[in-house]
Amino acid sequence: MPNATVLLKEPSPYGKLTTGNFEVRRSTKVPTEADLGPNQIAVHTRYISIDPYLRMRMSGTDGPYATGYRVGSPITSFGVGDVVASRHPDYPQGCQITTSANPWSTYAIYDLSDPQLVAALQLTKLEGPLADVPLNWHVGVLGMPSFTAWYGLLEIGKPKAGETLVVSAASGAVGQAVVQLGKSLGLRVVAAAGTDEKVAYLKDTLKADAAFNYKKVDDYTKTLKELCPKGIDIYFDNIGGEFLDAVLANVNRCARIAACGAISQYQKDEGQTYGVKNLMSVVGNEVTFQGFIILFHYQTHYVKFVEDITKRVKDGKFNYKLDITKGIENAPQTMVDMMEGRNFGKTVVEG
């Protein structure tokens, strides 16, 4: 079994990420109990979640959105794995854990002496309902992006049946969940994605009322006007930029915009961030444009989310498409590809 660890080599504050920003170290070492101090556990990474917000962490500097990775330190993200050796009684060998700070490493050692650190890592043993589902659900349908979709649509979007919902990056990790939740709530769902294959998936499998390939459209404002004849009531914003301006030109009074991310802007060169011009529409239409960071809402909402989504999936009413790449050593290329939209579904690397 290859044993790889991915570290930050060269921070990338602007422009396109490349695999040269990462360093992959290999080793044949597999940790055993002899390598552990008191209260430490060794975990074999089974899946890591690769998400657009990590692009900001690759800047190497701390921002409000996320802390930057440090040169020479491992990249971390949400992940799930098997405890292969343990010196902590609550996390015996054979159990499984999930954490928001899983190193991109085939094996990782966690020190669980300090309960505050365990909380900060959001390290959770899979038991009860969490153990009762396929393992990759924890980086898939039960993962952070899916929770993001659920929280943003319900808590910020405040949907009412019959309203029109627009979703950008709609076949991605967050978008595909937003589309399906929107449909199940009786919304008219208009979805935008970047390939014809994704558009077909959105229409045929996820049953979006309308979907379009934004790369083949000249004028977002005109397209949204055509596809949303009653105007836009809710916009789930994953991309920011020019598309947001087009949405603002088509919103109804008291529209809600769940500001989740701005992937269209993350790889811009310095000083090239798109300036949003239609903010007077926020005033004139009494729009609520509200940002959120899902990490702050686990404690209050995650259990409710898990119950709700698990039921939906088991009822066969919820699809969740994963785009799985094998091998931690391939995580850098996988992330580069995702940032350029070459993923199809939620991006995951299998360790």
Using CB under 8 A as the criterion, which residues of the chain lie in contact with a second copy when the complex forms?
63-66, 240, 244, 253, 259-262, 265, 273-277, 279-293, 296
Nearer to a second copy, 13 or 284 (CB): 284
CB of 286 to a second copy, least distance (A): 5
Nearer to a second copy, 153 or 348 (CB): 153
3-state class of 65 per DSSP?
A: coil
Nearer to a second copy, 76 or 238 (CB): 238
CB of 236 to a second copy, least distance (A): 12
Task: Please give the Cα distance from 147 to 80 (Å, whole number).
Answer: 16
CA 343 vs CA 8, 141, 156, 193, 246: distances in Å: 22, 17, 27, 11, 25
What secondary structure does DSSP assign to 190-255, as a single string?
EEEESSHHHHHHHHHTS--SEEEEGGG-S-HHHHHHHH-TT-EEEEEESS-HHHHHHHHTTEEEEE
CB of 168 to a second copy, least distance (A): 14
3-state class of 135 per DSSP?
A: helix
CB of 128 to a second copy, least distance (A): 30
- What is the DSSP-derived secondary structure letter of residue 105? B
CB of 63 to a second copy, least distance (A): 6
DSSP lists the bridge partners of residue 213 as 193
Nearer to a second copy, 57 or 312 (CB): 57
Nearer to a second copy, 47 or 243 (CB): 243
DSSP lists the bridge partners of residue 4 as 26
CA 209 vs CA 152, 193, 206: distances in Å: 20, 14, 9
Nearer to a second copy, 292 or 344 (CB): 292
CB of 349 to a second copy, least distance (A): 25
